[in-house]
Structure 1
Amino acid sequence: MFKSLLKQLFFVLRIAIAWGLVVILVTALYSAIPIVREYPPPMLILGMGTMVLVIAGAFSHLHRVRLIAGNIDRDALSNRQRRLVEIPLEAGEAFDLLDAAIRELPGIQQVQSARDSLQVKAKVARPYTYGEHPLRRWNPLLWFGLPRNQLQATVTPGEDSGRVTLICEPENPAWSDCFLVDDGSNYENAEAIVRAITRRIGERRRNEQATVVQTTAQKELTEAKLHLLHAQVEPHFLYNTLASAQLLTRSDPERAEVMLGHLIQYLRHSLPNAADEMSTLGAELERALAYLEILKIRMGDRLDVQVDVPESLRATPLPAMMLQTLVENAIKHGLEPRTVGGTVWLRARRDDGAIAVTVADNGAGFTGRTSGSGIGLKNVRERLRLRHGPDANLSVIANFPSGVAATITVPAAATAERANHV
């Protein structure tokens, strides 16, 4: 408390001494003029009135700074304010955020924004803090000097952040600080810009967190839809397979035993992965082949399967049930509607840093009862987007001369990462 009083007293004395020297100088010059030498009382009255107004203005400045800053110290009393702000964003993004914060400052004028040099300069109109007072023009602290402030902000790039150097000062030269006060307006401007930057960073963080939460919710919803779809399809497949095996036990026990063996193989790869998000191309291929072998027994010569998947690509990470969805679509929408059946091709290729897995058929194609763009394919696309973003996709095109070819493309880098973990 005592130190604060000393600082306030020193500030008032500094302003009073500066103006006192000016008054003494003007009085001396006035008295040296021969015509008016015998009339010193007017100068005495003018000098005393000037000093009263100067001291009153200095105390007014102290009062306003205390209201704004909450305390009185050397930095708060200064007409010229400097701030260093660390923004945890890339320099270009930090500059955009700073520029937007400055442009929202009340009274902002003549904003000069240079993104290449990461600099912003502007003028700020100085408000009439207590309105247009009748004695305002007689206040010596306002006799000279421009009624505006100015600011300059520079962003210094860092590794993962941008450091902002903010300077808020009067438009007058530095020597005028001995005679003039800014009523805390530059302190107020500096704090307002810092608050705006902090608010925008907080808003950005909240939006990012909301996006993460939304993405997680979407991912969980997609997985739930997948499990629901799997739960809906699986009983029908199991029922049909068991019913076919029951009939074969009477007419062809050997084929029934083979069908049950493939069913066991299919379930071995299905049940452990029912709640697992990621699998491998090799595991998904074994599941799909077990499924197709069962259908070959049921469909007979109407179904042919061709596989071309290099051993080196079988460790490629692939979401569980994704390949199975494409195979089921090929059977249900491609081959089953045709009396003569057809062929299902399973292929995998490495191409320009990506792995392409294709399920193709020569069935009914897009001219059949369905275009093949139902919930199963929507699920595949959504899961790929959530897992790999724009680096993965699903394309469904017409196969030549008939049928449909569906291709899943995933980043090849994921294969190496998976191998390293194994």
Structure 2
Amino acid sequence: MKSFFFVFRLVVFWFFVLLFVALMLANTAPFRHHDAAPTFILLIFIALMLVVTGAVSHLRRVRLIAGHLDDSTMGNRQRRQIEIPFEAGEAFDLLDAAIRELPRSEDVESARDSLQVRAKVQRPKPYGHHPLGRLDPSRWFGHLRNQIFATVTPGDGTGSVTLICEPEAGAWSDWFRVDDGTNLENAEAITRAITRRIAEKRRNEQMRARQTETEKERTVARLNLLHAQVEPHFLYNTLASAQYLTRTDPQQADHMLGHLIHYLRHSLPQRDDALSTLGDELERTSAYLEIMRLRMGPRLALQIDVPDTLRAFAIPPMMLQTLVENAIKHGLEPKPGGGTVWILARQDDGAIAITVADDGRGFNEAGGGTGIGLKNVRERLRLIYGAEASLSVVSNAPEGVAATITLPPRSTTTETVS
């Protein structure tokens, strides 16, 4: 019924316009003394048939595009409200790209500050060249273009797009001609393009999230492997020493096992992918050093200078002990008279520097501690902090080596505190 009234409205307006033109021509000199009524009636009938044909073609094409007919789809002017789940600037970029890639778009004017886009669109000829040419009243206004006006209204993390597609003519022209569904086609095309771009962006975000998760899993696995490489050899050596002492000095063996239990108490609760604190690492390292004192006797001395305010600072587990192990293994144990291990911590602009120094054999004779321990420390720092953390190993005058770990004050790390 709505389609019938749509066609009827066009026919009525064209009838009165053609009748008015016929009456005006009938009063002019060439037709005043001739009976031109039959000719005018025939021309009016042909013109009205062409109007009906054009209107019906418009309705059929609109049904093909939209799948149904109603007041909004039959009209020459289309309005869409599109919600984009991105901030206004990003929503504007999606809208602008969608309009620019519309077929036959031209004269595109976009203003990012005001979030507006205007464009002209060449109107296609859906049915090619019309055989009756200028006899068709719908061609009397010329082949008009369509135009697009779109704005983005900012919201709370979203952008609301108001899209208007209409003929390049005043609203009065809608009473006399149809657009063959071209503005409906433009509105649907822009809506589809925006929807496709949103879906593509979501897919890319999901893909990046999956890649990030995969990289995180790989990083944690590598950290666990590096961590596993550090702990076992100390446990094996300690248990071997305790086994030996049970036969030669049971009391010392008991002390060694007590320190080992203390060491394990500060080691086992930590997950391999969890950060520790400097205080906990000092407790762990102290237990380790007590065990080493039982093995080295008076050849091992220790000095610790760590402010209480830094003991809650988060650091990766086992790194401090690795540096201490390296100092004893490469610096003090090979030295006949042994020596001293210093553990120092300082804070500068929020960043913390932890230094383990010794007065052992140094670079020349020990090779600078280039074994797996320091390599693992460097690799774990890179995986956890990226370029924000560093490990430096230098000579400790007059003899020995000083290794310093520098950690950022706050950073996003691969290891997380549980």
Bin the TM-score by the shorter chain: 0.7 to 0.9
Q: Which residue number in structure 1 is paired with residue 26 of structure 2?
A: 31
Q: Distance in 2 between matches of 1:260 and 1:197?
A: 69
Gaps spanning 5+ residues in structure 1: where?
1-5, 386-391
Q: Which residue number in structure 2 is paired with residue 174 of structure 1?
A: 171
Q: Please report how far the alpha carbon of residue 220 of structure 1 lies from its aligned counterpart in structure 2 after TM superposition.
A: 2.4
Letter paired with 2:242? A
Report whether the alignment pairs 1:411 with 2:405: no
Q: Which residue number in structure 1 is paired with residue 330 of structure 2?
A: 337
Q: Which residue number in structure 1 is paired with residue 232 of structure 2?
A: 235
Report whether the alignment pairs 1:123 with 2:123: no
Q: Please report how far the alpha carbon of residue 31 of structure 1 lies from its aligned counterpart in structure 2 after TM superposition.
A: 0.7
Report whether the alignment pairs 1:325 with 2:326: no
Q: Distance in 2 between matches of 1:78 and 1:169?
A: 9
Q: Please report how far the alpha carbon of residue 54 of structure 1 lies from its aligned counterpart in structure 2 after TM superposition.
A: 0.8
Q: Distance in 2 between matches of 1:373 and 1:95?
A: 52
Q: Note if contact 2:323-2:374 (Cα within 8 Å) is conserved in structure 1.
A: no
Q: Which residue number in structure 2 is paired with residue 198 of structure 1?
A: 195
Q: Distance in 1 between matches of 2:53 and 2:283?
A: 91
Q: Distance in 1 between matches of 2:123 and 2:194?
A: 22
Kindly report which structure 2 residues correspond to 1:13-162, keeping only aligned pairs within 5 A, or say none.
Answer: 13-37=8-32, 38=34, 39-162=36-159
Report whether the alignment pairs 1:213 with 2:210: yes
Report whether the alignment pairs 1:382 with 2:380: no
Letter paired with 2:354? T
Q: Note if contact 1:330-1:359 (Cα within 8 Å) is conserved in structure 2.
A: no
Q: Note if contact 1:19-1:179 (Cα within 8 Å) is conserved in structure 2.
A: yes
Q: Distance in 1 between matches of 2:294 and 2:345?
A: 22
Q: 1:280 to 1:329 in 2, by over 3 A?
A: closer
Q: Distance in 2 between matches of 1:184 and 1:293?
A: 88
Comparing 154-163 with 100-109, greater Cα deviation is found at 100-109
Q: Please report how far the alpha carbon of residue 329 of structure 1 lies from its aligned counterpart in structure 2 after TM superposition.
A: 4.8
Kindly report which structure 2 residues correspond to 1:282-361, keeping only aligned pairs within 5 A, or say none.
Answer: 282-298=279-295, 305-318=302-315, 322-325=316-319, 327-329=321-323, 331-332=325-326, 336-338=329-331, 339-340=334-335, 343-347=341-345, 349=347, 351=349, 354=350, 356=352, 358-361=354-357
Q: Please report how far the alpha carbon of residue 331 of structure 1 lies from its aligned counterpart in structure 2 after TM superposition.
A: 3.8
Q: What secondary structure is seen at the aligned counterpart in 1 of 2:390? A: strand
Q: Which residue number in structure 2 is paired with residue 3 of structure 1?
A: none
Comparing 334-343 with 282-291, greater Cα deviation is found at 334-343
Q: Please report how far the alpha carbon of residue 368 of structure 1 lies from its aligned counterpart in structure 2 after TM superposition.
A: 5.9
What is the aligned residue count? 399
Q: 1:367 to 1:231 in 2, by over 3 A?
A: closer
Q: Note if contact 2:120-2:145 (Cα within 8 Å) is conserved in structure 1.
A: yes
Q: TM-score, normalised by structure 2?
A: 0.83
Q: What secondary structure is seen at the aligned counterpart in 1 of 2:107? A: strand
Q: Which residue number in structure 2 is paired with residue 389 of structure 1?
A: none
Q: 1:121 to 1:70 in 2, by over 3 A?
A: same
Letter paired with 1:215? T
Q: What secondary structure is seen at the aligned counterpart in 2 of 1:85? A: strand
Q: What secondary structure is seen at the aligned counterpart in 2 of 1:270? A: coil
Q: 1:137 to 1:297 in 2, by over 3 A?
A: farther
Q: Please report how far the alpha carbon of residue 342 of structure 1 lies from its aligned counterpart in structure 2 after TM superposition.
A: 6.3
Q: Please report how far the alpha carbon of residue 67 of structure 1 lies from its aligned counterpart in structure 2 after TM superposition.
A: 0.5
Percent of pairs with identical residues: 51
Q: TM-score, normalised by structure 1?
A: 0.82
Q: 1:95 to 1:251 in 2, by over 3 A?
A: same
Letter paired with 1:379? R
Q: Distance in 1 between matches of 2:406 and 2:61?
A: 70
Q: What secondary structure is seen at the aligned counterpart in 1 of 2:56? A: helix
Letter paired with 1:328? T
Q: What secondary structure is seen at the aligned counterpart in 2 of 1:271? A: coil
Q: 1:225 to 1:106 in 2, by over 3 A?
A: same
RMSD: 3.3
